[in-house]
Amino acid sequence: MIALHAAQTIISHNTAQTIVGLNTDKTTISLNTAQTMIAPHAVQTIISHNTAQTIVGLNTDKTIISLNTAQTMIAFNAAQTIVVLNTDRTLSALNTAQTLVAQNTDKTIIAFNTAQTIIVQYSPNYNRA
């Protein structure tokens, strides 16, 4: 599911797929899946997440994340960031010009952000520095 350049985007998602909300003014995502949510370049991003994967909030003015997973949370380049985190794994962030790599031991998620392009790659045993 991809919502691109929308003024307001609300996504309710209960599958085993991927949500990408890109360049939206307001993005609200309620997510209960076993995959990945990425909402970059949103003015306000609120994420409620109860899965076993990864949340990435990228380049947002305000990012609020409530997280109860067994994996990884990354929020960087945010003006105001509030994180409530209950996880048994680590935090990692790699910031190049427009590239984010979220990586953990069991599973790897890679999101590349160009001007209007996001690629999310999911592999059980794939590592990339």
Q: Tally the residues of the chain.
A: 129
In this prediction, residue 30 carries a pLDDT of 52
Residue 95 located in a structural domain: no
Residue 29 located in a structural domain: yes
Pairing of strands 72-76, 44-49: unpaired
Closest by CA to 38, choosing from 24, 54, 16, 25, is 54
Domain containing 54 equals 2-90
Residue 67 located in a structural domain: yes
Helix residue ranges per DSSP H, 1-129: none
Domain count, the chain: 1
Residue 73 located in a structural domain: yes
| Under-50 pLDDT residues of the chain | 1-18, 23-24, 33-35, 51, 53, 69-72, 76-129
